[in-house]
C-alpha cells in the first residue's frame, strides 16, 4: 500500500480548519491541524511534513514567518500559502519567501485538491534520488577520506 502524504494545515478560522481537515483525511492524507502559527511551528519541530498549507494573515506569528521557518529548517517541505487578502504584492511576497503555490480565499475544493496534487508532485520530484550515473559513481568512491 502506498503511504499517503503528510500535510500540516495552519488556519486561524476554526470552522474552515475543521472542514479542511475532514475533507483531506477523507482523501486519504495524513493531516495535522494547527489553529495558529506558534502551534504549527511546534508541530514542524516534532515531525517532518510533506506539505504545509498555511494562512498568511493570522494574529501573532503570521504565515510569512511560518514560510521563513519552513524554508530555514525543512527546505524539502512544500508550502502552499492561503489568503483572503489577495493582492499581487502579497502573492509576490509569499513566493519570494518560499511558498511553492498560493490559493486565494474563498477557494473551490477542487482547486485545493489540484493545488495539493501539484505541490506534492513537485515535492516528489525535488526529493527523489536522481537516476544519474555520476551521482552513483561519486557515492561509491573508495578513496573518500584518504589523503
Using one digit for the tens of pLDDT, what is the confidence trace for 88-125?
A: 888 899 999 999 999 998 888 899 999 999 999 988 88
In CATH terms, is domain 6-126 a member of 3.40.50.2300? yes
User: Cα separation of 62 and 68, whole Å?
Assistant: 10
Tens digits of per-residue pLDDT, 34-73?
Answer: 999 999 999 999 999 999 999 998 888 999 999 999 999 9
Average pLDDT of span 5-9: 96
Strands (E), the chain: 6-10, 30-34, 51-55, 78-83, 101-104
Residue 90's CB is within 10 A of a number of other CB atoms, namely: 17
Q: What is the C-alpha separation between 8 and 39, in angstroms, rounded? A: 11
Domain spans of the chain, in order of start: 6-126
Closest CA to 92 of 102, 106, 77: 102
What are 32's strand-pairing partners? 8
Cell of 141: 568512491
Strand order in the sheet with 51-55: 30-34, 6-10, 51-55, 78-83, 101-104
The secondary structure of residue 61, as a DSSP letter, is S
CA 73 from chain center: how many Å? 12
Amino acid at each position: 500500500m502506498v503511504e499517503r502524504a503528510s500535510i500540516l494545515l495552519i488556519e486561524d478560522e476554526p470552522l474552515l480548519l475543521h472542514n479542511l481537515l475532514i475533507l483531506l483525511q477523507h482523501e486519504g492524507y495524513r493531516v495535522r491541524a494547527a489553529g495558529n502559527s506558534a502551534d504549527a511551528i511546534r508541530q514542524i519541530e516534532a515531525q517532518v511534513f510533506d506539505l504545509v498549507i498555511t494562512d498568511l494573515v493570522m494574529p501573532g506569528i503570521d504565515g510569512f514567518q511560518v514560510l521563513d521557518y519552513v524554508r530555514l529548517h525543512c527546505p524539502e517541505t512544500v508550502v502552499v500559502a492561503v489568503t483572503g487578502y489577495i493582492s499581487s504584492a502579497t502573492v509576490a511576497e509569499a513566493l519570494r519567501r518560499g511558498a511553492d503555490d498560493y490559493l486565494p480565499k474563498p477557494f473551490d475544493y477542487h482547486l485545493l485538491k489540484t493545488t495539493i496534487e501539484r505541490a506534492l508532485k513537485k515535492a516528489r520530484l525535488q526529493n527523489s534520488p536522481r537516476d544519474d550515473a555520476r551521482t552513483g559513481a561519486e557515492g561509491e568512491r573508495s578513496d573518500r577520506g584518504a589523503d
